[in-house]
Amino acid sequence: MILEYELTAEDVHQAVLNTLKEHLSLETEGYSCTTEMTLNVLLKAAVEHSSLEAACADLEQVASSNRLRE
């Protein structure tokens, strides 16, 4: 059986981000942080069972963990 549509990791990632944006009242728009960046870091830390520090260290072009905590 050949599937007509394949669910990719990017599809899942985007669906989770959209759900988080819809249900969390979190806004971190600033000169170094955006809401989407913050949610991506939090999502990575949650999925990998790691710390905010480790998630920020793994991702490129994100604010530092201290900046996100502020």
| Domains held by the chain: number | 1
Which residues lie closer than 8 Å to 17 by C-beta, 6 or more apart? 36, 39, 40, 43
**57 pLDDT higher than 90:** yes
pLDDT score for 4: 80
User: Can you tell me the distance from the alpha carbon of 32 to that of 6, in angstroms, rounded to the nearest whole number?
Assistant: 35
**3 pLDDT higher than 80:** no
Task: Examine residue 15 and state whether it is found in any structural domain, yes or no.
Answer: no
- Structural domain including 55 reads 31-70
Q: What is the pLDDT of residues 4-32, one digit of tens each?
A: 888 899 999 999 999 999 999 888 888 88
Question: What is the reported pTM?
Answer: 0.81
Task: Examine residue 1 and state whether it is found in any structural domain, yes or no.
Answer: no
Task: Examine residue 19 and state whether it is found in any structural domain, yes or no.
Answer: no
